[in-house]
């Protein structure tokens, strides 16, 4: 479990996150939703330690993280897998080398074991046989899946995904959602996903945190989200004519 305890974050005096207090549960897909500029990416970057919080703390299974020195964060960081919005695959490495990178850095596995692990995670993201392809040869959906494969190569306890569906067609986006949900269950990970994709919200939102103007406005799951009387949440959820039609 990840506990976010009353964190605040500002940039150059402008408050971006204000007293965020929530938790992300193990074995569930935890979604952070909100409009662009609402602060959800900053919240995720605070969680993974790319931004330092001004106040408050973040606990990973009870272990303090937010105020640790960079070197002391390494241990928890090696238990994280992160899927960045653009994939962030290393351009000069092929698929196998990208996935093998964390294994090279943090394990003493033999080459045979590493290759087995690469093939195992590639099978899990339905990309078996793409080992020798370079990122420039992959489609957007494949890039995201390779990035997921790299993120889970060390079988992390915590998986973070920043807008995993952005730039993908609806069918591929649905497959990525299903994949993240399946992997969360299979490896019993604490998965945190940033999204503003309503299909993701309804399909895999086992726990949803709605961020608006830097504040946490609502929490619940995909069963409650359409029934809430929270005005700001409804404005976000029913912003498109399609969702308004669903609401009837």
- CB of 240 vs other proteins, minimal distance in Å: 28
| Alpha-carbon gap, residue 8 to 23, rounded angstroms | 15
Q: Where are the alpha helices (DSSP H) in the chain?
A: 40-48, 70-77, 95-106, 111-124, 140-151, 170-186, 198-204, 231-237, 241-247
Among 68, 86, 114, 232, binds other proteins (CB under 8 A): 86
- CB of 105 vs other proteins, minimal distance in Å: 6
| Alpha-carbon gap, residue 246 to 206, rounded angstroms | 20
Interface region with other proteins, contact rule CB under 8 A, candidates 26-34, 79-87, 165-173, 180-188: 79-87
Residue number with CB closer to other proteins (48 or 127)? 48
Token pair in block for residue 30: 């935890």
- CB of 64 vs other proteins, minimal distance in Å: 17
Residue number with CB closer to other proteins (12 or 91)? 91
Residues 88-147 contacting other proteins, CB under 8 A: 88-92, 101-102, 104-106
| Alpha-carbon gap, residue 150 to 128, rounded angstroms | 13
Token pair in block for residue 239: 């912003």
Query: Residues binding other proteins: what is the number (CB under 8 A)?
Result: 23
- CB of 243 vs other proteins, minimal distance in Å: 30
Residue 189 gets which letter from DSSP?
-
- CB of 145 vs other proteins, minimal distance in Å: 16
| Alpha-carbon gap, residue 182 to 167, rounded angstroms | 22
- Judged by the rule CB under 8 A, the positions of this chain that interact with other proteins are 48-50, 73-75, 77-78, 80, 82, 84-86, 88-92, 101-102, 104-106
């Amino acid at each position: 479990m990840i506990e976010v305890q009353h964190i605040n974050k500002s940039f150059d005096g402008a408050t971006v996150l204000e007293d965020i207090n929530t938790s992300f549960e193990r074995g569930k897909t935890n979604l952070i939703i909100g409009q662009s500029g609402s602060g959800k990416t900053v919240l995720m970057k605070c969680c993974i330690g790319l931004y330092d919080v001004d106040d408050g703390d973040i606990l990973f299974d009870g272990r303090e993280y937010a105020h640790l020195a960079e070197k002391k964060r390494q241990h928890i960081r090696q238990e994280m897998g992160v899927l960045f919005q653009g994939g962030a695959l290393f351009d000069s490495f092929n698929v196998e080398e990208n996935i093998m990178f964390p294994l090279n850095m943090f394990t003493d596995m033999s080459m045979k074991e590493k290759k087995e692990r690469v093939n195992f995670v590639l099978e899990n993201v339905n990309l078996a046989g793409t080992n020798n392809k370079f990122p420039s040869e992959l489609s957007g959906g494949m890039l995201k899946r390779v990035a997921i494969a790299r993120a889970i190569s060390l079988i992390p306890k915590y998986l973070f995904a920043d807008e995993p569906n952005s730039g993908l067609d609806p069918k591929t986006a649905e497959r990525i959602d299903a994949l993240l949900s399946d992997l969360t269950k299979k490896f019993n990970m604490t998965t945190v996903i940033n999204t503003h994709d309503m299909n993701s919200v309804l399909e895999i939102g086992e726990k949803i945190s709605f961020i608006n103007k830097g504040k946490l406005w609502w929490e619940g799951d995909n069963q409650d989200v359409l029934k809430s009387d929270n005005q700001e949440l409804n404005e976000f959820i029913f912003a498109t004519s399609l969702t308004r039609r669903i609401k009837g």
